[in-house]
Amino acid sequence: MIDIAEIFGSKALDEDKLLARGFDGDGEEYLLASVRNATGSFVGRVHLALEKILKGIASECFYTEHFKQGQTKRMLALIEKSYVIVNA
């Protein structure tokens, strides 16, 4: 099964509010996509496809907040304002 917490990491997301399900061409839910220890080549490909979709959502719609405290954010803003950062 897809590890949603691992994909979204420390991004602002309540894991209980995200549900990933797979459906077949007839619109019926593919239940093995939700089974953590399901094995087989097809279900493996389904898990990879869903994981790829979720990673795309995570990278395009969320950002990682490394520092959460207001004081740390203010210090970083002051450092960015005071010093020129040169990319090597």
Count of domains forming the chain: 1
Higher-confidence position of 30 and 86: 30
Q: In whole angstroms, give the CA distance from residue 16 to residue 81.
A: 38
Query: How many percent of the chain have pLDDT more than 70?
Result: 74
Query: Is 67 inside a domain boundary?
Result: yes
More confident residue, 10 or 80: 80
pLDDT at 88 over 60: no
43 within 8 A of 32, measured Cβ to Cβ = yes
Predicted pLDDT at 86 = 67
- Show the domain range for 66: 4-82
pLDDT at 1 > cutoff 60? no
Q: pLDDT tens digits for 25-56?
A: 888 888 888 887 888 998 888 888 888 888 88
Q: Is residue 35 part of a domain?
A: yes
Helix H or strand E segment including 63: none
58's tokens: 């995570």
Q: Which of 4, 2, 7 is nearest to 17 (CA)?
A: 4
Q: Maximum Cα–Cα distance for the chain, whole Å? A: 59
pTM for this model (two decimals): 0.55
Residues 80/26, Cβ–Cβ less than 8 Å: no
